[in-house]
């Protein structure tokens, strides 16, 4: 049971209704996470705006979902692990690629570097070093992409914390968390 109410899109303020209608249009349903965040119109605008901005960024959706899965697993966020595994499959990743990403790995060296960097940012709480940035740059990422990877990390921390702190019920096909390596 969620620790905050899951806002009913039909019984809320007009500004929240409009945002939740956009979200429903994008997903074909209104995921529980957004219904929980809708307790704050400002937080909902922030989250949905971030998803939109990063969705139009230079990092491909598939890599964004792999980053999300790695961070979700690291933060023990069952909701985000389930949601982003499904979204990663929709973005063209195989089940094996999403499973590997859950553990922070990939057979593609560039993707593996992005996942290592993202998890380093999470584990070090942003206190990365020159070598960490150099490694992701040497893997083929430019500065725009590196900053976007960091933005994906920040957004996923927000969503992980919402779902874990508020015990938001998972409404995507469940995926089992794995122990961190």
Mean pLDDT over 137-163 rounds to 98
Average pLDDT, the chain: 97
Mean pLDDT over 4-15 rounds to 97
The pLDDT value given to residue 179:
83
Buried b (16+ CB within 10 A) or exposed e, 149-176: bbbbbebbbebbebbbebebebebeebe
Percent of the chain with pLDDT over 90: 98
Tens-digit pLDDT profile for residues 36-50: 999 999 999 999 999
pTM > 0.85: yes or no:
yes
What are the structural domains of the chain?
14-55 (no CATH), 61-165 (1.20.1290.10)
- Report CA 119 to chain centroid distance, whole Å: 13
Secondary structure class of 20 (helix, strand, coil)? helix
- Report CA 128 to chain centroid distance, whole Å: 20
Closest among 46, 52, 5, 8 to 26, alpha carbons compared: 52
Tens-digit pLDDT profile for residues 55-85: 999 999 999 999 999 999 999 999 999 999 9
Closest among 77, 12, 72, 2 to 41, alpha carbons compared: 12
Whole-number Å distance between alpha carbons of 31 and 35 = 7
Closest among 87, 176, 158 to 122, alpha carbons compared: 158
Cα dihedral: 43, 49, 50, 52 (round 10): 150
Buried b (16+ CB within 10 A) or exposed e, 103-120: bbbbeeeebbbbbbbbbb
Asked whether the beta carbons of 54 and 64 are under 8 A apart, the reply is: yes
């Amino acid at each position: 049971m969620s620790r905050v109410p899951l806002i009913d899109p039909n019984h809320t303020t007009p500004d929240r209704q409009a945002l939740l209608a956009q979200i429903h249009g994008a997903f074909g349903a209104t995921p529980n996470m957004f219904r929980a965040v809708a307790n704050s119109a400002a937080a909902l605008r922030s989250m949905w705006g971030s998803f939109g901005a990063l969705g139009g960024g230079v990092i491909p959706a598939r890599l964004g979902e792999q980053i999300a899965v790695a961070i979700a697993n690291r933060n023990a966020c069952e909701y985000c692990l389930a949601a982003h595994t499904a979204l990663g499959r929709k973005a063209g990743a195989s089940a094996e690629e999403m499973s590997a990403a859950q553990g922070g790995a990939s057979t593609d060296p560039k993707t593996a570097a992005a996942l290592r960097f993202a998890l380093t940012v999470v584990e070090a709480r942003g206190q990365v070093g020159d070598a960490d940035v150099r490694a992701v740059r040497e893997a083929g990422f430019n500065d725009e992409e590196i900053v976007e990877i960091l933005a994906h990390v920040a957004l996923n921390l927000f969503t992980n914390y919402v779902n874990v702190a508020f015990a938001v019920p998972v409404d995507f096909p469940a995926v089992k968390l794995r122990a961190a390596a």
